[in-house]
Structure 1
Amino acid sequence: MNNAWRSHCPALPSSPVSLSPRSLLTTSLRWFAPFLALSLAGCGQPPLYQQTGFVFGTKVDIAIWGLPEPLAARHAAAVLAELDRLHARLHPWQPSPLTQLNAALAKNEAGNADTELIGIIDEARDYARRSDQLFNPAIGGLIGLWGFHGDQYPARLPDPDQRAALVAAQPTLEDLTIVGGTVSSRNPAVQLDFGGFAKGWALDRSASYLRRHRVYNALINIGGNVLALGRKGEESWKVGLQHPRQPRAMAVIALRDGEAIGTSGDYQRYFEVGGKRYSHLLDPRTGEPARSLQSATVIAPPSREAGAISDTATKPIFIGGREHAIDYAARFGIGDVLLVANDGSVFVSASMQPRLQWLVNPPHLYRLR
């Protein structure tokens, strides 16, 4: 599954690699391309090792700097194997422990959950509370109704009565009761789908593995959710921020040790009906795709939950819109925020603005307040 990029004295590109998600796969999610632009003066310098795979329905890239190739390859392969395991356990529509639990909840029965799955539920419940339930992993039924439980999703609108019924049921993680190794729900409409933070959560697990094994300089990219460890030689790790309407990067951002960056956008998983775009980012209050922005990007400061926070926080920011962005970001300890409005205008927080190296100048640039 994994194809390693190797070279004894590699010739690296002199500009950022920026690929549109749809140029990879229609199911690809957030994508930042690592900036592989550091020239190597000679073969005696520490190597950049990269290994890629496909997990969580998207491209995964692991770059490790400064280790001998066999050692870097072994650690990258271990991370990819763990991501495969997590993907199989958390899959929301193919057979998995999560679908088994959802089947029990739908029948108003208690389902089994191990310590790992219970830990995910508890962490997600905390994030959902911070977001006023705009990040809501209990609306898997609604996501499936819109056709986003599949590798391909048809261009059709859901039945309005079914959608209204699911919205009226108001499923949340607060409906769950956990006793020992069992999970029950007082609301049969609860269907768990952790796609809103699973990649970020997996980033944190990957970073933890690398730190434990003394891999201190690496970049982990799970479909555009990116976490940086250390540096790439004398330079910081750099990522290209995908333009939401063009197949290229709009800006480059340097990440500090332990930071994670995540984006939610309407260009990642969507279909069109009657010339109107319908993305997978659903507003639980209406049961419809949120439409106030093209994309929302945040950088989470270093912590053991940086990956999960960078993934999760973009949901209430994207759904809640520009007026509430700073408030929701602050609830997650985030100061660096960038929004792309529907007209292409960009709004950035005061701390984010100096970090941006623009490749495509936005039509209008505003301070986010």
Structure 2
Amino acid sequence: MSENKYKHLQIQQPHQRLSWTLGLALLLLLTSCSSQNSPPTKATIVVFGTLVDITLYHPDVKQAEAAIQQVETEFFHFHKEWHAWEKGGIIGKINQAIAQSQPINVPLSVKNFIIKSQSLTRASQKLFDPGIGKLIALWGFHKETWSGPPPSEKSIQHWLDQRPSLLDIYFEGLTLYSKNNQVQLDFGGNAKGLAIDMALDIIAKAGIKSAIVNIGGDMKTLGLKNGQPWSVGIQNPNNPSNVEVAIHLNADESIVTSGTYQRYFEWHGQRYSHIINPNTGYPAQGFASVTVLHNDATTADAAATAILIAGPKNWLNIAKSMGLTYVLCIDNQGKILQTKAMAERTKLL
């Protein structure tokens, strides 16, 4: 039995909204392979600039609805606090302090997330680096829409000469400092993964044992679906209306896909992806999409970005460096590259 309601989430226009929350996910089509032992409680939330689909399987509908309400409340608070380009949130305040070469006190949760992100930056050989907000702004990807032109080589080289990085940040207790006042935080590469992890944690603490949360195509499961794995399809980048690969998700697994084919702009016949290689200053080009399975959605989110940037020649090295087992890449010609463990779990359609 198939649930095709997710098809309407496809975004293919080259000049669509460029908010950070849409940036690093392609659509995954959720299907069902089991009988409905327990009826689902579903909700769709409009937040993060996209649709968030929550599906819970629990006999007590009121309990399930209360859990969804709590997730919704936390998501709106999270979006306000973590959006890189809106004033008033914690990330905006941190960026302002860094620009003024001033320290700033932060909550322990923020410190822990930054430290975790720094470990992912190191493991990815700085291909995933949330400290590159000024480079993102230089390309115009921080705006609602992109109007061009691309930045000049001179301006990109100027940024590279300074090369701000998340690794420039350090802490003394809960006080944040930066060695480089050109650092500007933008967690578009893994904040959505953090939101997914946070949602599943809330749902589990509410006593729910079976659920799936889908933010713009990136998903994480809680338990199984009526005793059976969750079945997911990965889009064909060259024909997004078709499913290219089928895979089953086990309990408490996340699946995240980064793609260059859904969010891009064209200038004088040249296509530019929204995903930028911080080591070159230019958009990634080698892969059309990269899918990562991992128990931690935050890690999967960062890893999918890093491997997409790494491209066909370096993807496996980055996957090993980040300790990944399940990775699937589709290049611009439609060729599939995947780890051995991933190949054992996927079915080409």
User: Cα deviations across residues 5-55 of structure 1 (Å, max 9, x unaligned)?
Assistant: xxxxxxx74668534531696443413232246554xxxx41012111122
How far the C-alpha of 1:58 sits from its partner, in A, is 2.1
1:295 aligns with 2:289: yes
Kept in 1, the 8 Å contact 2:220–2:254? The answer is: yes
Which residue number in structure 2 is paired with residue 76 of structure 1? 68
Which residue number in structure 1 is paired with residue 326 of structure 2? 336
Which residue number in structure 1 is paired with residue 226 of structure 2? 233
**TM-score, structure 1 length as denominator?**
0.86
Alpha-carbon spacing, 1:13–1:239, altered in 2? closer, same or farther (3 Å): closer
**Aligned partners of 1:93, 1:148: CA distance in 2, in Å?**
11
**Aligned partners of 1:53, 1:37: CA distance in 2, in Å?**
25
Which residue number in structure 1 is paired with residue 31 of structure 2? 35
Alpha-carbon spacing, 1:100–1:228, altered in 2? closer, same or farther (3 Å): same
**Aligned partners of 1:14, 1:38: CA distance in 2, in Å?**
12
User: Cα deviations across residues 184-237 of structure 1 (Å, max 9, x unaligned)?
Assistant: 212111000111000111111112222222211111111222111111114211
Question: Which deviates more from structure 2 when the two are superposed, residues 309-318 or residues 112-121?
Answer: 112-121
Letter in 1 for 2:73: A
Which residue number in structure 2 is paired with residue 362 of structure 1? none
How far the C-alpha of 1:354 sits from its partner, in A, is 3.2
How far the C-alpha of 1:62 sits from its partner, in A, is 0.9
How far the C-alpha of 1:156 sits from its partner, in A, is 2.3
User: Cα deviations across residues 317-345 of structure 1 (Å, max 9, x unaligned)?
Assistant: 11112232223223333211111111111
**Aligned partners of 1:155, 1:62: CA distance in 2, in Å?**
36
1:130 aligns with 2:126: no
**Aligned partners of 2:65, 2:261: CA distance in 1, in Å?**
33
Q: Which runs of 5+ in 2 are unaligned?
A: none
Which residue number in structure 2 is paired with residue 182 of structure 1? 175
Alpha-carbon spacing, 1:115–1:268, altered in 2? closer, same or farther (3 Å): farther
Letter in 1 for 2:85: W
Tell me the number of residue pairs that the alignment of Structure 1 and Structure 2 aligns: 340
Q: Which has the higher contact order (CA 8 A, sep 6+)?
A: 2
**Aligned partners of 1:20, 1:14: CA distance in 2, in Å?**
13
Secondary structure of the structure 1 residue equivalent to 2:80: helix
Letter in 2 for 1:273: W
1:277 aligns with 2:266: no
Secondary structure of the structure 2 residue equivalent to 1:351: helix
* Aligned with residue 319 of structure 1, among 309, 314, 338: 309
Secondary structure of the structure 2 residue equivalent to 1:22: coil
Letter in 2 for 1:70: K
Q: Which runs of 4+ in 1 moved over 6 A?
A: none
Alpha-carbon spacing, 1:18–1:315, altered in 2? closer, same or farther (3 Å): same
Secondary structure of the structure 1 residue equivalent to 2:340: coil
**Aligned partners of 1:121, 1:338: CA distance in 2, in Å?**
27
Which residue number in structure 2 is paired with residue 143 of structure 1? 136
**Aligned partners of 1:208, 1:250: CA distance in 2, in Å?**
31
Which residue number in structure 2 is paired with residue 59 of structure 1? 51
Secondary structure of the structure 1 residue equivalent to 2:189: coil
Secondary structure of the structure 2 residue equivalent to 1:121: helix
Q: Between Structure 1 and Structure 2, which shows a larger proportion of helix residues?
A: 2
Superposition CA RMSD, Å: 2.1
Question: Which deviates more from structure 2 when the two are superposed, residues 129-138 or residues 349-358?
Answer: 349-358
Which residue number in structure 2 is paired with residue 367 of structure 1? none
**TM-score, structure 2 length as denominator?**
0.91
